C-alpha cells in the first residue's frame, strides 16, 4: 500500500507548490499559456484520428470498468479537467499529485477530490497496466513524483515544458534544422496530466481500459514524464497526430538527418500505437 507516500510531501521542494495557491499566480500562468488551441488539438480532437483504427476496436479480453468504477473515474476525470482549466494547461502538465489535491481543495470551482476518486487514481497508478494490456516499461514508480522547476525550460508559444539537457538540446537541434516549420506539441507530462489524458481515452471508449492503453501509455509508463516529447508541423493541426505526419516533407528530412528515433514503431511489442510524432530522447541502449 503506497497510500502514505503522497501524504509525505517531498522535503526537497515541490514545483509551484500550492500550499496557499494565490489566484493571482494561477491567472498569470493562464495568461502565460499562450496557445490553448494546440492542447485541444493534441488531447481532444486527435483522440480519434488514430494511425491504426483497429486499436479502437474492442477485443474479446478487453478490461472494462464496472458501472461503479466508471462513475468514479468519470467524476475524477471531470475534476481533473476543471483543475486544468483553473491552473492553466502549461502548469497542469507538470503539476504533481500532492499539489493537485491541495489546489482542488482551495478552489470551489474544482472542489476537493473525494476519497473514492483518490482511491481510484491510486489503483490506476499502482495496479499493473499489464492486466489491461499495456506492456511498456514503468518509468515513474511513485504517484507523487514531483518535477522541480529548475529542471525545466518553458518553450515559448507552446504551453509546454521540456527538461533541460538532452530533451531541450534535441529540440534545439531539430529547430535549428527545420526552423519554425516544426513546433513542440507536447512536452513534459507528470502523473496528474498523464492520468487525465488516459481517463479522457477511457471516457471516450465508455470505460474500456484496454482500448485506452492501446492508444496512450498509462500514467507512470509515459516517457513524457522523464524525457520524450512530441513535435508537429506548423499549420498541420490534428493531422500531426496521425500517420499523415510521417508522410510530410518535414518528417522525411528529420528522419534522414537522424533526428527522429521513434519510441513506438509500427507493430511494437508494447501494445501501443505507432507514433511518428513522438521523439525518443531517453534510451537504455
> What minimum distance in Å lies between the beta carbon of 100 and Zn ion?
21
> What minimum distance in Å lies between the beta carbon of 104 and Zn ion?
26
User: Considering beta carbons, is residue 233 or 278 the nearer one to Zn ion?
Assistant: 278
Work out the end-to-end distance of the chain between its first and last CA atoms, rounded to an integer number of angstroms: 33
> What minimum distance in Å lies between the beta carbon of 150 and Zn ion?
24
> What minimum distance in Å lies between the beta carbon of 65 and Zn ion?
24
Among 97, 81, 100, 79, CA closest to 89: 81
Name the residue number minimizing CB distance to Zn ion. Answer: 278
Among 32, 94, 39, CA closest to 232: 39
> What minimum distance in Å lies between the beta carbon of 163 and Zn ion?
14
List of residues contacting Zn ion (CB under 5 A) = 230, 278
User: Considering beta carbons, is residue 23 or 234 the nearer one to Zn ion?
Assistant: 234
User: Considering beta carbons, is residue 33 or 230 the nearer one to Zn ion?
Assistant: 230
User: Considering beta carbons, is residue 144 or 222 the nearer one to Zn ion?
Assistant: 222
User: Considering beta carbons, is residue 91 or 278 the nearer one to Zn ion?
Assistant: 278
Mark residue 15 as left, alpha or beta (left: phi above 0; alpha: psi -120 to 50; beta: remaining).
beta
Q: From CA 184, how far away is CA 160, in angstroms rounded?
A: 8
C-alpha cell at position 189 = 507530462
Q: From CA 193, how far away is CA 219, in angstroms rounded?
A: 8
For residue 135, how many other CB atoms are within 10 A of its CB? 13
In the beta sheet, which residues pair with residue 284?
none
Amino acid at each position: 500500500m503506497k497510500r502514505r507516500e503522497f501524504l509525505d510531501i517531498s522535503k526537497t521542494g515541490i514545483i509551484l507548490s500550492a500550499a496557499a495557491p494565490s489566484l493571482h499566480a494561477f491567472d498569470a500562468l493562464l495568461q502565460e499559456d499562450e496557445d490553448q488551441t494546440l492542447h485541444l488539438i493534441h488531447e481532444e480532437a486527435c483522440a480519434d484520428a488514430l494511425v491504426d483504427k483497429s486499436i479502437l476496436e474492442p477485443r474479446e479480453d478487453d478490461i472494462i470498468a464496472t458501472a461503479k468504477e466508471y462513475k468514479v473515474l468519470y467524476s475524477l476525470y471531470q475534476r481533473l479537467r476543471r483543475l486544468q482549466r483553473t491552473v492553466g494547461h502549461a502548469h497542469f502538465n507538470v503539476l504533481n499529485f500532492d499539489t493537485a489535491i491541495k489546489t482542488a481543495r482551495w478552489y470551489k470551482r474544482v472542489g476537493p477530490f473525494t476519497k473514492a476518486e483518490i482511491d481510484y487514481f491510486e489503483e490506476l497508478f499502482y495496479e499493473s497496466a499489464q492486466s489491461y494490456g499495456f506492456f511498456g516499461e514503468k518509468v515513474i514508480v511513485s504517484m507523487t513524483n514531483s518535477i522541480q522547476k529548475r529542471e525545466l525550460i518553458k518553450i515559448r508559444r507552446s504551453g509546454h515544458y521540456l527538461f533541460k539537457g538532452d530533451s531541450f538540446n534535441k529540440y534545439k537541434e531539430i529547430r535549428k534544422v527545420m526552423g519554425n516549420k516544426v513546433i513542440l506539441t507536447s512536452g513534459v507530462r507528470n502523473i496528474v496530466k498523464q492520468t487525465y489524458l488516459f481517463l479522457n481515452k477511457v471516457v471516450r471508449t465508455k470505460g474500456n481500459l484496454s482500448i485506452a492503453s492501446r492508444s496512450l501509455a498509462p500514467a507512470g509508463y509515459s516517457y513524457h514524464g522523464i524525457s520524450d516529447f512530441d513535435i508537429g508541423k506548423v499549420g498541420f493541426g490534428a493531422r500531426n497526430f496521425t500517420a499523415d505526419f510521417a508522410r510530410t516533407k518535414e518528417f522525411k528530412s528529420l528522419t534522414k538527418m537522424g533526428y527522429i528515433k521513434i519510441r513506438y514503431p509500427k507493430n511494437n511489442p508494447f501494445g501501443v500505437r505507432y507514433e511518428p510524432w513522438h521523439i525518443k530522447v531517453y534510451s537504455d541502449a
